[in-house]
Structure 1
């Protein structure tokens, strides 16, 4: 039987970051490149990112928008990255529904960024507990884009890693009918 890549098997959603780690320019660039090269419907690449590195003005402003539950751990990450997906062709287009797959495509881009972070020895924690409208206003996000999620990126404090659990495949993968397990 083929083995799951350790990079995927060992991934964690980090809540304790090394506050001395600095995300280098080349590391940030390769993370964003990993997202950029992700597949998308019609090669539309309907995603964008807002990036703040710990200590810079963007990071300080982003921290103010975090919910208290996230503010307890995310500011220590080397970078806060916020994701956006395109919802219309342009700001004058009131018809939402630019692509039925834009959020899916964004999810793939974030997954690629997350795997690349793991290859660099970094951890990523995705979150949604922040002021989405406040971030859109702060960053002057155009009307045809939607603020979606946040990512904390940095070097994990190993002693803080919790045991990882997953639901069994029998609850996730089905044959021709929902609830009918796939024969493996």
Structure 2
């Protein structure tokens, strides 16, 4: 597993420092049922507005029909590598309940997805969150109710050497440095005034 720890101004938790979004996955390795359950339990216990719990996940294991349907909604660029992962998930937001519209439903899915991804790191797995999919196609492929909105797809698996990606530009991208804007641009005491 390739490590690309975050460069930070102070130490952060190892799970956060080690999280990144690989594309090189072992096409023969499996995500165990216990690992998959742990990921979904981590997501289930994410905070949500008023405990509305709007997040739902479609779970596809490589080789099953759910995996194939999720994979079919991905952009071509994501399909090129995501077929190798052990699990494809689709994060969905339930936008209404018996009390009416659920505020911040997408934010609730985002929190659940981040818990899931950090648990993947803890399990020794790689996870890659994707906006590169067709939400309408996913909605149709699973005959989702009108009040359920696809938000994200997530690929989870055992990382492989970047060479599995084939094309040199993809290999270089996989091995490239991670970067973020400096903390001085990210944390502000007023607009344009760094907090640190």
2:55 matched to 1:47?
yes
Query: SS of the residue aligned with 1:73?
Result: helix
Selected match of 1:16 from 9, 24, 33? 24
Match of 1:116 in 2: 119
Q: Which runs of 5+ in 1 are unaligned?
A: none
Q: Return closer, same or farther for 1:181/1:2 CA change in 2, 3 Å cut-off.
A: closer
Q: Which range moves more in the overlay, 112-121 or 3-12?
A: 3-12
Q: Return closer, same or farther for 1:64/1:33 CA change in 2, 3 Å cut-off.
A: same
Query: SS of the residue aligned with 2:83?
Result: helix
Aligned length: 177
Alignment of 1:155-170 (within 5 A): 155-159=158-162, 160-170=174-184
Alignment of 1:12-161 (within 5 A): 12-89=20-97, 98-159=101-162, 160-161=174-175
C-alpha displacement of 1:36: 0.3
TM-score by length of 1: 0.89
TM-score by length of 2: 0.84
Q: 2: CA distance between counterparts of 1:18 and 1:162?
A: 19
C-alpha displacement of 1:120: 0.4
C-alpha displacement of 1:107: 0.8
Kindly report the root-mean-square deviation, in angstroms, between the aligned alpha carbons of the 2 structures.
Answer: 1.8
